[in-house]
Amino acid sequence: MRTVTNFFIVNLAIGDILMACLCIPFGFVSNLLLQYWPFGAVMCVVVSYAQAVSVFISAYTLIAISIDRYIAILYPLRPRMTKLQAKLIIFLVWVVALLTPLPTAVLSKLVQTPMWAQVNITDRYTCTELWEDNTQRYYYSMALMILQYFFPLTVLIYTYTRIAIVVWGKRPPGEAEDGRDQRMAASKRKVFKSSSMFESSQ
């Protein structure tokens, strides 16, 4: 069971579990039920950072799986990815996933919610990123969008499109013989019809 694909699947599952345990419940409670952050400053940092990390892990593990399938199908005579290479790729995925969203961990703070401040409730906060410059926030958000969404999506579309073209374009074994048999049967039918017409005219 310790195959390259299974290594990637386990890593993908870890990213999904991280999202399910540390992101979805807290986001559901704070955004939909309470409309403020009740879990404290530490969990604000942990949850915000974990959310970004889990997205990177899932996206880049999917890229690794697609590239592994791409090489296996388009270049079947090349050596397959080894377990050591797969572990190295998973390590690099985690490095990228942990380092890239560090600004999220550093800048995630609790800010008093304006909605609650208007009714003189001062102990209700929102977990958000505090940037000194909105331009920096914009460029960082765009970088995350490209790295987390557009780049993985582009790679997945390219690899699986090429795989689909190769798989659908190949003739399965025996197809050539089937086509030949169909042509021979059609020729026999034509000969039979011609013979029948000739016999009936006699």
Handedness of CA 143, 108, 15, 30 (dihedral sign): negative
Residue 8 CB neighbours (<10 A): 22
Do residues 45 and 12 share a domain?
yes
Which structural domain, as residue segments, surrounds residue 94?
Answer: 4-170
Do residues 159 and 188 share a domain?
no
Do residues 138 and 82 share a domain?
yes
Structure confidence by residue, pLDDT tens digits, 30-65: 888 888 888 888 999 999 999 999 999 999 999 999
Do residues 73 and 50 share a domain?
yes
What is the domain count for the chain?
Answer: 2
Do residues 12 and 86 share a domain?
yes
Average pLDDT over residues 11-31: 89
Q: What are the structure tokens assigned to 166, written together?
A: 């190769």
Do residues 186 and 202 share a domain?
yes
* Whole-number Å distance between alpha carbons of 25 and 59: 21
Do residues 35 and 96 share a domain?
yes
Do residues 108 and 190 share a domain?
no
Do residues 87 and 161 share a domain?
yes
Do residues 143 and 190 share a domain?
no
Confidence grade of residue 190 (pLDDT, cut at 50, 70, 90):
low
Structure confidence by residue, pLDDT tens digits, 137-166: 999 999 999 999 999 999 999 999 998 888
CATH value at residue 75: 1.20.1070.10
What is the pLDDT at residue 30? 84
What is the pairing mode between strands 108-112 and 125-129?
antiparallel
Do residues 180 and 136 share a domain?
no
If DSSP codes are grouped into helix, strand and coil, which group holds residue 127? strand
Do residues 92 and 183 share a domain?
no
